[in-house]
A and B are shown apart, each in its own frame.
Chain A
């Protein structure tokens, strides 16, 4: 991971000097994560792909504004977050995400497809803020401080959203067994 960060820094430095190929290498490293993050935020593959392209284009154009190259990942996801919410505000003035809740309950004993549907359903029932907190923490592995930077809110708010989301997901994906302690 340390070597990866060093290489990312080198690629960023080269891209800043106008090396497009260096930036393409950087894009290839992050495009899948950004695409999946956006896909789970907006719920449409085409929109997620278009947004991903916009995100990397904006990132390239603003690469010189990145003060600390070690913080490239939170900075990139901050752009992705803004782009996604810009689209959502355009499509839905109330800002609620387009992911439709799907049926599904306990994950125990589920087949992979059923589990996938259950997880998607559980995520779909969360609020947009709660879902994004889960995406950034569980799927992207950001620290609370980084999430606070991406979402432009205090760490306490990030923790509150995530913990509430985990409680809700837990009820669907890991319900209390009969005779359980909850």
Chain B
């Protein structure tokens, strides 16, 4: 290191790395001119630092003033968590709005016709199914009614038949008894 490359002023004001300082110190040890120059710089710096810092005559202090207090939107703006939440809410809102607004925009004339055709087809199919079901229900209801009437008729017929049979049996018993009585009476008459 030569005298021309040695930055003694940077050394004197502390603007050097440890490695650079070591190089300068190494050079200064063997160079009287640079050593004397460095001593003068150090003396100058020491003299400058002899000028003491003055105390401030009046302490500076601020009071809470609404003029300088942050507005509500400044408080929100400076708050990381609130801003993060607001951003997420805004993004979610934007996605929802986009979802609704994009639907009509994406439909062309052909698409609408197809959708209408498809809807008509679905409605027609559902209508057919409903009619079929109604007819089927009606038939079933009629069959059930017919069966109920038939059963009732059969039951009534059976009841009447049983009643007739009972009457016939009673009549037969009566006539049989009358016949027996007449037979006894005739036998008694023939014996006298």
Whether A116 lies near B13 (C-beta < 8 A) is: no
Docked pose: A143 CA to B14 CA in angstroms:
9
Whether A112 lies near B50 (C-beta < 8 A) is: yes
Docked pose: A39 CA to B56 CA in angstroms:
10
Docked pose: A39 CA to B55 CA in angstroms:
11
Docked pose: A137 CA to B9 CA in angstroms:
12
Size category of the binding interface on chain A:
35 or more
- For the complex formed, measure the closest distance between the CB of B163 and the CB atoms of chain A, giving whole angstroms: 105
Interface membership of B32, Cβ < 8 A: yes
Q: Could you say which of B49, B61, B68, B78 contacts A17, with CB atoms under 8 Å apart?
A: B78
Whether A27 lies near B62 (C-beta < 8 A) is: yes
Interface membership of A173, Cβ < 8 A: yes
- Nearest B residue (CB) for A119: B51
Interface membership of A153, Cβ < 8 A: no
Docked pose: A118 CA to B56 CA in angstroms:
23
- Nearest B residue (CB) for A177: B36
- For the complex formed, measure the closest distance between the CB of A143 and the CB atoms of chain B, giving whole angstroms: 7
Question: Which secondary structure dominates chain A's binding surface?
Answer: helix
- For the complex formed, measure the closest distance between the CB of B171 and the CB atoms of chain A, giving whole angstroms: 118
Whether A20 lies near B68 (C-beta < 8 A) is: yes
In the complex, which residues of chain B have a beta carbon less than 8 angstroms from the beta carbon of A180?
Answer: 36
- Nearest A residue (CB) for B35: A181
- For the complex formed, measure the closest distance between the CB of B53 and the CB atoms of chain A, giving whole angstroms: 5
Question: Which secondary structure dominates chain B's binding surface?
Answer: loop
Contacts between the two chains (Cβ within 8 Å), count: 115
Q: Could you say which of B13, B41, B49, B65 contacts A170, with CB atoms under 8 Å apart?
A: B41
Contact with A along B41-65 (1 / 0, CB 8 A): 1011101111111111111111111
Docked pose: A173 CA to B33 CA in angstroms:
18
In the complex, which residues of chain A have a beta carbon less than 8 angstroms from the beta carbon of B61?
Answer: 24, 27
When A107-B43, A144-B15 are in contact, do A163 and B9 touch as well, CB less than 8 Å? yes
Whether A138 lies near B58 (C-beta < 8 A) is: no
Interface membership of A169, Cβ < 8 A: yes
In the complex, which residues of chain B have a beta carbon less than 8 angstroms from the beta carbon of A53?
Answer: 60
In the complex, which residues of chain A have a beta carbon less than 8 angstroms from the beta carbon of B14?
Answer: 141
Interface membership of A89, Cβ < 8 A: no
Whether B59 lies near A31 (C-beta < 8 A) is: yes
Whether B56 lies near A49 (C-beta < 8 A) is: yes
Interface membership of B28, Cβ < 8 A: no
When A18-B75, A64-B78 are in contact, do A173 and B60 touch as well, CB less than 8 Å? no
Whether A118 lies near B49 (C-beta < 8 A) is: no
In the complex, which residues of chain A have a beta carbon less than 8 angstroms from the beta carbon of B48?
Answer: 119, 123, 134, 138-139, 169, 173
Docked pose: A64 CA to B36 CA in angstroms:
49
When A49-B56, A174-B44 are in contact, do A138 and B49 touch as well, CB less than 8 Å? yes
In the complex, which residues of chain A have a beta carbon less than 8 angstroms from the beta carbon of B78?
Answer: 16-17, 64
In the complex, which residues of chain B have a beta carbon less than 8 angstroms from the beta carbon of A107?
Answer: 43, 47, 50
By Cβ-Cβ distance, the 7 closest A-B pairs, closest first, are A174-B43, A173-B47, A174-B40, A107-B47, A35-B56, A20-B64, A170-B44
Not counting A31-B60, A32-B55, A182-B40, a sample of 5 additional A-B residue pairs whose C-beta atoms are within 8 angstroms of each other reads A64-B78, A118-B47, A119-B51, A174-B44, A181-B36
